Amino acid sequence: MRNQVAALREKRSMTQADLARLLDVSRQTVISIEKGRYAPSLPLAFRIAAVFGLTIEEIFTPDE
């Protein structure tokens, strides 16, 4: 699964630690999501979308 988390985070001048705190996850989880090594649970995907004011579909896209 591809995602726009890193770009969205950087656009808002947030660190990975800042985002992790907002999502109540570890910084390592944010790193794994950004690198595509970890697909977040649906509740976590909704929290990510809420932080950025977007829909899940605007942030995450399935691999072809």
What pTM, to 2 d.p., does this model score? 0.93
Q: Taking the C-alpha atoms of 41, 22, 48 and 64 in order, what is their torsion angle to the nearest 10 degrees?
A: -70
pLDDT of 64: 76
Q: What is the pLDDT of residues 31-40, one digit of tens each?
A: 999 999 999 9
Domain ranges of the chain: 2-54
The pLDDT of residue 63: 82
pLDDT in the model for residue 45: 98
Q: At 13, phi and psi to the nearest 5?
A: 55, 40
Answer yes or no: CATH 1.10.260.40 is held by domain 2-54.
yes
Residue 4 has pLDDT above 80, yes or no: yes
Looking at residue 1, its amino acid is M
